[in-house]
Structures are given as C-alpha cells and as structure tokens.
Amino acid sequence: MTVESTAAPAKVNLMGLSQAKLEAFFDSLGEKRFRATQVLKWIHQMGVTDFEQMTNISKPLRDKLSQVAEAVAPEVVNQWDSSDGTRKFLIRVGGGNAVETVYIPDGDRGTLCVSSQVGCSLDCSFCATGKQGFNRDLTAAEIIGQVWQAAKSFNQFGVGAQRKITNVVMMGMGEPLLNFDNVVDSMNLMMHDNCYGLSKRRVTLSTSGVVPALDKLGEYTDACLAISLHAPNNALRNELVPINKKYPIEMLLASAKRYIDGLPDVRRKMTIEYTLIDQVNDRPEHAHELAELLKEIPVKINLIPFNPFNLSNYKRVSNNALRRFQQILIDAGYTTTIRTTRGDDIDAACGQLAGQVNDRTKRSQRYKIDKNALDASNADIIPVKLVDEADVSITFNG
C-alpha cells in the first residue's frame, strides 16, 4: 500500500523577493500588482512581517497570505558589541551553519558588511573565512535578512526613525559573484525606494575576480564595485588569491573597467582593495608596480592592514611600511586611504569573519579547524569537489 504525503506545501518567503518577483507572486494569486509595493514597504520600511499587522491590505487577502506565504529573516543567535562601536551578528541559516554580519559606525556613516555564502568556495591565503570551507549559497531572503535584522537591532524601522545603516558592502563571508542572482536581487532591494532606499553610491559589491559574472553585472545593477586585488602582479596574486590562476589580473581589470565605463555616471571609480601583509606585498617596489598597473583605470585605492587570525602565519604590516606604501601611491596621483581596523576585539575586522560552516569541501580538515561547537545533527552532508582556481563556474538565471 502506498501512503501519500499529506504535508502542506512550503510557504513562499516574501522576504527576499524583488518587486518584479513579488508582482508575479500576486499575479499568481489573482491579486492586483500594486499589492507588491504595499508588502515591500511593510517588510523593509516598517519592519513588519506579520500579515495581520499590514492594515492597508484587506482581511481576506491577509488570510490568504498567511496560508501560502511568510516573511522570515534568518535568526540572530548572538551579538557582540566592540569597544569602538562595531557590532557583530551571528546569524543562523540552518543545517548547523551560521554567518556573520558586521556593522561599523564612522561618524554619520554606518556601514553594514553583509555575507553572501556560508563559508567561501575560494581560498584566499589571508582570509579566515576560506579556511572554514564552504557549504552553500545564501538565499536572497538570507542576504537581505541580514540587513533587516541589523536595522531592527537599531530600531531603524518606522516613520521618522533615524537611519543608522547608511551603506552596505557585500564584503562579508563568501564571494558575491558566485551567488549572482541572489546577490543582485538583494542589492536591488537595498537600493529600492520602497525598501531601504540606499543610493547606488552606498551599496558596494566586492569581488576577488569571477570575470564571467562581472561581465554580466552591469546588465542588472549599477552598484559600486570593489576589486580584491592584494598584489600588483600575477605571480604574487596567484599565491594570495588562487582564482587569479583562472582569471589573471589583466583579464580582471579589463572586465572591471568595462563595468565602470558602462555606468551612466562618468565620474564613478572602482575601489581597489589591497591587504598589506608584512614582508609579503608591502615593499616599495610593490607600490610602484601597483601604480603602474592601474594608471589607465579610474580607481581609488583602499589599503587594508592584515588582521591576524590563528590559522595564518602572516603578520600585520608595520605602520612605517603602511605609510610609505600609501605615500608612493599618493605621489603617483591616486586617492589612497587606509582602512582603520575596527572590531578586532570581537574578531569582526576585515578577513576575520568565520561564522559556523558545516564544510562540504573538506577544506576545514586540512586547516584543522575545531568544529566541535557546530551543531550538525540535522545536516545533509554531501561531498562536493573543492572549488579552486581550476574549477570555478557560475550560472545565471536572469
């Protein structure tokens, strides 16, 4: 005898749906498309996820939504506040996994660093995230849900509420361009007037160099672009950022320049991120080589002192070497800033984000990460091939 399943169909999570996808959802219910605008405002401007509280929607439609849909952000399971005002969130995303999100205040500016993957499928040698391996991409609901939870923690929702989050950077755990569709949908929600209303100059995507996805990016967004370069030549970058062996510097910078050149604002520049590591990439000759490499490209340069973590033998750059490197670039005509290390007392500084990753790549075993704290009892462990410089692929649904 065959027993048929009586389980109810999964509800549609409206948290991560773009306006177009939300309009299509209401079409499928036989409802007017303007309902999408109403729901977007309730969720992302007012912070309301209970349909019964959405008072400008009729009672029959609220009842229908409760049966077929939900608006759920991932759960914040821990929060740490640094002495410098930085706040780090540990956010549970199921299967024994959690990601980290960091808020960094700086005067009137409040920047939220958002994760796009559980772990990272790349393995940059100076980054703690990659040492934990990789589990999966985050959904759009899990990405924009990080913004929603952070806004909630600062009482940012509601009419007249003071905006604490003024900028968002896709620089947390993961390589954003390897989760293309969900990242693009999430960034567009961040910039949507009916959601968080951030300027396109205040949402930044940072990539290590997934060139095929970068070539597509301009068709879907005009957010700011940051390139994780970290070396002025291919030989050194191959060691620090292994994806460079597949997409070398020349290919990456050419793609990035096409993106910038395609933006309607001709004044826009890309940011070059360069993590300075003591005695590795911090020499004057590296600075001169970098200046020569970038001379035909509209860039500003952000120097990032390496932040040590317990699985790395790299050391923090000296202040003298850091200032010397910066001055060479300034003398060459580049706007060059130094990223102030923030939140290192709570392991929230650049390169330190780790979270909890139920690693599917087995990379964490190579780095001997202690995973005893992970609750993987409900995890579905599926061995997958480690994504490295020879095995990077991406598909587009758009």
String of DSSP letters for 195-228: TT---GGGEEEEES--HHHHHHHTTT---EEEEE
Task: Report, as an integer, the average pLDDT of 38-52.
Answer: 98
- Note whether 276 and 152 are same-domain residues: yes
Q: Quick one: which of 110, 195, 179 has its CA closest to 142? A: 179
Arithmetic mean of pLDDT over the chain = 87
Same domain, 60 and 106: no
- 228 labelled as ligand-binding? yes
Whether 350 is catalytic is yes
pLDDT higher than 60, residue 293: yes
**pLDDT higher at 101 or 129:** 101
Would 242 be classed as within a structural domain?
Answer: yes
Whole-number pLDDT of residue 382? 25
Residue 224 annotated in ligand binding = no
The model carries a pTM of 0.86
Residue 374 included in any domain: no
Catalytic residue from among 100, 142, 224, 273: 100
Q: Which residue carries 């100076």 as its tokens?
A: 126
Distance CA 201, CA 259 (A): 14
Q: Is 307 annotated as a binding residue?
A: yes
Residues 35 and 181 in one domain: no
Judge whether 45 lies within some domain. yes
Q: Tokens for 321, please give them.
A: 């070497």
Same domain, 55 and 167: no
Are residues 49 and 141 located together in one domain of the fold? Answer: no
Pair 220, 286 in one domain: yes
Beta carbons of 99 and 115 less than 8 angstroms apart: yes
The per-residue pLDDT for 380 is 29
Q: Which alpha helices (DSSP H) does the chain contain, by range?
A: 19-28, 34-40, 59-68, 128-131, 140-153, 180-191, 211-217, 234-240, 249-261, 284-293, 319-331, 363-367
Rg (CA), the chain: 22
204 in Cβ contact with 272 (< 8 Å): no
List, for residues 327-365, the tens digit of each pLDDT value. 999 999 999 999 876 555 555 444 444 456 665 665 555
d(CA 195, CA 217): 21
274 and 132 in one domain?
Answer: yes
pLDDT at 345: 56
Residue 59 is encoded by which pair of tokens?
């009672």
**Domains contained in the chain, number:** 2
Burial of 186 (0-12, 13-18, 19+ CB in 10 A): buried
Do the beta carbons of residue 118 and residue 91 sit within 8 Å? no
Asked if 105 and 193 sit in the same domain, the reply is: yes
Reading phi first (left if > 0) and then psi (alpha if -120 to 50, else beta), residue 155 is in: left
Helices and strands in the chain: count of H runs, count of E runs: 12, 14
Q: How far apart are CA 374 and CA 357, in angstroms?
A: 8
Residue 261, domain CATH: 3.20.20.70
- 133 lies in the same domain as 227: yes
- Please indicate whether residue 113 is annotated as part of the active site: no
First-to-last alpha carbon distance for the chain, in angstroms, is: 43
For residue 183, the tally of other CB atoms under 10 A from its CB is 29
Q: Is 229 flagged in the annotation as binding?
A: yes
pLDDT of residue 129: 74
pLDDT at 372 over 50: no
- Closest listed residue to residue 295, CA positions, set 259, 264, 253: 253
Q: Is residue 2 part of a domain?
A: no
Q: Which of 327, 346, 365 is the last residue of a domain?
A: 346
Q: What is the pLDDT of residue 211?
A: 98
Q: How many residues are recorded in the chain?
A: 398
91 inside domain = yes
Within-domain flag for 4: no
**pLDDT surpasses 90 at 32:** yes
Catalytic-role residue among 113, 195, 224, 350: 350
Task: Clarify whether residues 210 and 339 are in a common domain.
Answer: yes
pLDDT at site 379: 31
The model's pLDDT over 157-185, given as tens digits with 9 standing for 90+, comes to: 987 888 899 999 999 999 999 999 999 99
Last residue of a domain, one of 346, 361, 392: 346
φ, ψ of residue 376 to 5 degrees: the values are: -105, 20
pLDDT of residue 387: 34
Q: At what angle do helices 319-331 and 284-293 cross, to 10 degrees?
A: 30
Burial class, 166, CB count within 10 angstroms (exposed 0-12 / middle 13-18 / buried 19+): middle
Asked whether residue 48 is assigned to any structural domain, the reply reads: yes
Domain boundary among 51, 70, 89: 70
- The two structure tokens encoding residue 112: 């939220």
Q: Is residue 289 part of a domain?
A: yes
Higher pLDDT, 127 or 276: 276
Sign of CA dihedral 314, 318, 322, 325: negative
Classify 25 as helix, strand or coil.
helix
- Dist. CA 366–CA 353, nearest whole Å: 19
> Using one digit for the tens of pLDDT, what is the confidence trace for 215-242?
999 999 999 999 999 999 999 999 999 9
CATH number of the domain to which 17 belongs: 1.10.150.530
Please check whether residues 26 and 169 belong to one and the same domain: no
- Closest Cα to residue 378, out of 150, 126, 92? 92
Asked whether residue 200 falls in the same domain as residue 108, the answer is: yes
pLDDT for the residue 313: 85
Q: 30 lies in which domain range?
A: 12-70
